[in-house]
Amino acid sequence: MAVNTRTPSERRVELQYEVPGTPEQVWHAIATGPGISSWFAPTDVEEREGGAIAFRMGPGMESSGVVTRWEPPHRFAYEERDWSPNAPPLGTEFIIEARSGGTCTVRLVHSLFADSADWDDQMDSFETGWASVFDVLRIYMTRFYNQPSSAFRALRSVSASESDTWKVLQGALPALGGQLQAPVSRKSPHEALLLLDTPAPGIALVGAFTWGNKVHASLAFFFFGPAAALAVAREEPRWTTWLEQKFE
């Protein structure tokens, strides 16, 4: 998706997804700390305009910002100033609209406050990244909504290409077990989405991606139910060590 220049000092990317649930349910998933942590990354949100927001997406990929719009259950926005080294401020806005059949349309708008095209490549990559994440969100909404949850991401920067990194990561899939899920909107050929039964019900998103001119190997896990926290305690050291051994 091309980056649009809204004004001389603002560049935008607009995306749209269909998500199961009522506006109130989708709002809880997208605009609250417990909701976001269940399908994206461990996140803290002060639920008000002017409140703080902080994402912990993996080692070296933390980001924080401020809530700029808080209009439940339809409009949620925040601005990050440290989302990437030396980057200009990035605004993110979610607009939730009810549809028939018990679903919502979620419009996602990224606004980069810059007057040059230096960051357009990373803006373009948002489409691929969010498509995968929204596939996780759909499974969460249909199977695990509002259940106790715990999550982690094993992440490692590598020197190989995305395709070569993905070949190595595919070796993890048999050990994960679970059922491969057909993507709804996913764009990347270097990913797999799995529905897990053990060590707790959950979701795994395995993939290679490029961010900040570096290739990363990533295994993201989301567990649900009473055994979720124990599953994270068991699996996080296991898969962190696996990545370290495979990508020394």
The length of the chain is 248
What local confidence, expressed as pLDDT, does residue 88 receive? Answer: 82
- Per-position DSSP letters for 172-218, written without gaps between them: GHHHH-SEE---SS---SSEEEEEE-SSSSEEEEEEEEEETTEEEEE
Query: What is the pLDDT tens value at each position of the chain, 248 positions in all?
Result: 445 555 555 678 899 999 999 999 999 999 999 999 999 999 999 999 999 999 998 777 788 999 999 999 999 999 998 777 777 889 999 999 999 889 999 999 998 876 656 666 666 667 778 888 999 999 999 999 999 999 999 999 999 999 999 999 999 999 998 888 866 655 678 999 999 999 999 999 999 988 777 899 999 999 999 999 999 999 999 999 999 999 98
Q: Which CATH class is domain 149-246?
A: alpha beta
Q: Do domains 10-144 and 149-246 have the same CATH topology?
A: yes
Positive or negative: CA dihedral 198, 35, 209, 125: positive
Determine the pLDDT at residue 107.
97
The CA distances from residue 138 to 25, 44, 246, in Å, are: 12, 21, 31
Determine the pLDDT at residue 26. Answer: 98
Per DSSP, 140 falls in state I
Helix (H) or strand (E) run with residue 71 in it? strand 62-71
- pLDDT at position 116 is 57
Radius of gyration of the chain (CA): 18
Q: Say which CATH architecture domain 10-144 belongs to.
A: 2-Layer Sandwich (3.30)
> What are the structural domain ranges in the chain?
10-144, 149-246
| pLDDT at residue 84, as a whole number | 72
Residue among 143, 175, 187 at smallest CA distance from 242:
175
pTM score of the predicted model: 0.89
